[in-house]
Amino acid sequence: MRNAFLLGVHVAKNIVICCDGTGNEFGDHNLNVVKLYGTLIVDGRQQVAYYHPGVGTMGAPTASNRISKAWSIVMGLAFGAGLLANVGDAYRYLMDVFEDGDRVFLFGFSRGAYTVRALAGVLHMFGLLCPGNDGLIPYITQMYARKTRQAAGMKHTFDVVEEFKKTFGRHCPLHFVGVWDTVSSVGWIWDPLKLPYTGQNPDMLIGRHAVSIDERRCYFRNNLWGPPLEKQDIKQVWFAGVHSDIGGSYAYSESGLSPITLEWMLFEARSFGLLVDAQKAEAALGAVNPPPPVPPDPRQKIHNSLMFWWWQLEFLPHSYYDHVAKKPRWRIPLGARRFIP
């Protein structure tokens, strides 16, 4: 590999893209996305990596003062504003570093999981632009959303997208997509986006999804993948715990459940070529000098996320997917438990 690099021959590498959950970023109580990122071997040749904080985390780049920044964060949390911009940022990174033969790994938690699934949808619809075409990224992300919002079922839209992909797009297969508890709504209050190919994506080779059994909040309904397509390897595994027991964020002293899903995800991803530093992985899983963090412990308590004002939202009408009738319906949630197929 070293000789090939010195001769200027492209050696296929791993490209790892990590997107965090809503309102999350690096800090004292890091999520599994950050912990996984911290275990990676990043040498610029065999593997490169990218991390993006969550929707509603840092405010819009155009925010000129603290008030406008705070407002942009609220809009991100409540309505999912900024999701397409986050997709565009990750797409831009991939556009700049991808070369034929590279293996793409996508990881995300919560709405970060929805973000990487939306990124995968954009790649399937439009392909990957060649480096330097930054000006086209807002066009394709808006077209991607518009396809569902305004133009679903219109043949003209499909023709335009297909022609765009043939003209500008490169094929970018998705080697591994690993997500923790993808949620069905982008925004906590209103969700205007139902994005294409987030449920099934023909370009995804391997998919791993850690899903919460015990989450009951109506704005954190699970968003499963559909049945695997031909030659796809997909596992969706249900784990004990609420949303943040699965993806992390609780204090280290009471976070023994989230390392279980991290350990599972690391094992699965490493089995398919993710380059992980063994010592860093042991540290992230609490195997070296605990605490913190604590090691995986199935005896740890399951948290109660349905508290305080979250209960008030349970008395408002909320749309959900009826798995028996196979169509969307409305109901008063009242903390209903998740449906496990």
pLDDT tens digits for 6-16?
Answer: 555 678 999 99
Does 113 score more than 70 pLDDT? yes
Top-confidence residue, 142 or 36? 36
pLDDT of residue 233: 98
Taking residues 109-119, report their average pLDDT. 94
pLDDT of residue 331: 82
**pLDDT tens digit string along 250-279?**
777 777 899 999 999 999 999 999 999 999
Q: Which of 66, 86, 68 is nearest to 19 (CA)?
A: 86
Q: Among the CATH numbers 3.30.70, 3.30.519, 1.10.3470, 3.40.50, which is that of 12-301?
A: 3.40.50
| Residue that the structure tokens 């034929």 belong to | 100
Does 322 score more than 80 pLDDT? no
Would strands 103-109 and 47-52 be described as parallel, antiparallel, or unpaired? unpaired
In three state form, how does the secondary structure of 305-330 look? CCCCHHHHHCCCCEEEEECCCCEEEE
Share of the chain above pLDDT 70, in %: 77
Integer Cα distance of 161 and 144 in angstroms? 9
pLDDT of residue 204: 98
Does 56 score more than 50 pLDDT? no
Top-confidence residue, 336 or 190? 336
User: Phi, psi (5° rounding) for residue 287?
Assistant: -80, -10
| Residue that the structure tokens 């919560």 belong to | 110
Give the containing element (helix H, strand E) for 18.
Answer: strand 14-19
Asked which of 39-48, 201-210, 291-300, 311-320 is least confident by mean pLDDT, the reply is: 291-300
Domain boundaries of the chain, sorted by first residue: 12-301
Tell me the two tokens of residue 276: 């992980």
pTM of the entire predicted model? 0.85
Residues contacting residue 192 through CB under 8 Å, at least 6 positions apart: 79, 80, 149, 186
Tell me if 19 sits within 8 A of 112, measured CB to CB.
Answer: yes
Residues contacting residue 61 through CB under 8 Å, at least 6 positions apart: none
Taking residues 212-220, report their average pLDDT. 89
Bridge partner list, 179: 108, 209
